[in-house]
Every structure is written in C-alpha cells, then in structure tokens.
Amino acid sequence: MAASAVPRAYFVPRGENVFAATPFTVGPWSGKLQHAGPPSALVARAFEQKARELGHPLVPRLSMFILKPIPAIDALFAVDVSIIRKGAAVSHLEASLKLLKKGGQGDEVIRAHAVCYRESTIDDLPRLAVQRAGIACPPSPEASAPVSFPTGWWNGASEHGYNKSMTLKIAGGDGISNGPCAIWSRVEVAVVEGEVATPLQRLIAFADSGNGVSACVPPATVNFMNCDVTLHLNRMPRGDWMCLDARTDMSTQGFGLATTRLFDAEGFIGTSNQSLFVSPFAKSPTKL
C-alpha cells in the first residue's frame, strides 16, 4: 500500500461486514502483526451496534481473548456478534473476529464477551457514588507533556503503524516502558474508514497498551504479550482523550499482570486488566 494511499483508519470496509487492516494497525512485535488495540476496537464497534439494536446501549464490561497473532496490512477480517441472553435490563453478547482466508473460511483470532445495559436515570444518587472518593485523577491532557512511544524496540512500520495513530501525553511516572505510568491518548485515526470513532472505541484501542506503557523491564529484555484485556467501567467514557494509569508486574514463572485505572477528561471511568505471557526476548515473536 503506497504511503500516499494509506487511509487515516485502522480498517477499511471491503464488503458487508468485511474489513481490511491498514498499516496503522501494525504493532511493536513485528511489521507483519497487528497491535491488539485496533482489532479490539473493531470488535467493540460491533458490540456497540448490536447493543443499540437490543435497546441496551451501555457497554460497561468487555473482555477480549486474543487467540493467536493477528496479521496486519490488507488482511481481511469479519466480525460476528451473537446474543447469549437478552434480558429486560441486561444482555450478554459474544463476538468472534475471524481472519478470512481464500474460499471465505475464517480463522478465529479474537473471541470476546460483552455485557450491555439499558439506560436509566437516577437523579437522587448521592454525589460520592457518582464520582468515587479517593480516586485521584491524573493531570489533565492540557497540563501533561507530549511524549512518543519508544522507537528503539518498535519493529513495525516507521511512517505508519499503531505508534503513529495517536497523540500521547505523559501525566505521571518516569516515562513510557519505565515502570508505573500515567499517560493520555487521543486516537487520531478512525477505527473504520468514513466513521468517527466512539469514546468506547478510542478507550479500548488504547487500553490494550497498559502493559507496554508501564513495562517493569526494558522491552528488549523479555517478551510480555498480553493474551487478553478486560474492561470494567463505572460509567461510559466521554470525549476524545483517554488516560491509562498502569502498572505491570511479572513473575519468574513466565506470566504477569498489567492493572490499569482508566480516566477520561472528566474523571475516573473504570479499570482494565491484562494477563501476560512472559518469555525470553525474541525480536519477532509470532506464536502464543
């Protein structure tokens, strides 16, 4: 794909419910593989659409299970959403993101679950229940300094790639991939070409980076790819700017955990967790 022809989006429609990945999906591990944020955002988009159809438009819980490395750049994908249960107030959905092969067969790369709620208004809810006491918000995006993803360990595209798809600002810690870190992101590309990314799509596109921004060892020391990401929200995100206040811990047994508090410009919105597979460093890990 010529540089001048690269769409300002993670995915481009290629027929009914079929999407082609662009170079902006390329992650740090390999120029041939996606960062898991963009495909997770594509799945979140499908959940939002189905949730609205059911009349349960709030999606405060999402779990993405990454089954295998996800190819990038012109690879074709389809998202299927099924209803596990539709209740009066709460519905459970399941989604499958499949890599399409010749003949139309799909190879599943992400399996996901969502819980969606109908919207209700509670005018007399005590203020402390709406904005939790004791949750210290990071400095605002305006008060935070610009920063970029480290380039030394980025094996993906240089001109494009996930690392070029957003504006970052550091809000706490000693920098990216140097221990606990608070960092703001504003995604600058669409999830699907021709659409405006929703706040939830922006959030999950970045939430998958919690383990990377708060890495507790230099990224060229070990590999620590996440096998999943789960979000629990106390309200739906609003606006363009999303913040991860993240911490990554690893064990000598070959796994770890990234725990992240999530914020938008209005305050605390929830948490996310990622389970990590930790292994000796390989420049281009391709197997989970």
Q: What are phi and psi of 148, to 5 degrees?
A: -130, 155
- Side-chain-side CA neighbours of residue 23 (13 Å): 17
pLDDT at 203: 98
Cβ proximity of 174 and 150 under 8 Å:
no
Over residues 210-247, the pLDDT tens digits come to 999 998 877 677 778 899 999 999 999 999 999 999 99
Residues 6+ apart with CB under 8 A from 150: 176, 177, 219
Q: What are phi and psi of 284, to 5 degrees?
A: -135, 75
pLDDT at 218: 72
pLDDT at 128: 52
Q: How far is CA 269 from CA 32, 61, 122, 199, 283, in A?
A: 33, 12, 18, 12, 35
**Mean pLDDT on 12-27:** 94
Local structure of residue 16 (DSSP, 8 states): T
pLDDT at 155: 60
Report the alpha-carbon distance of residue 241 to residue 245 in Å, rounded. Answer: 13
Residue 138: pLDDT over 90 = yes
Residue 4: pLDDT over 70 = no
Q: What are phi and psi of 5, to 5 degrees?
A: -100, 0
Report the alpha-carbon distance of residue 68 to residue 35 in Å, rounded. Answer: 12
Over residues 93-111, the pLDDT tens digits come to 999 999 998 766 789 999 9
Which residue type sits at 28?
Answer: P
pTM over 0.85: yes
- In the predicted model, what is the mean pLDDT of the chain? 89
Residues 6+ apart with CB under 8 A from 20: 11, 12, 14, 74, 75, 76, 77
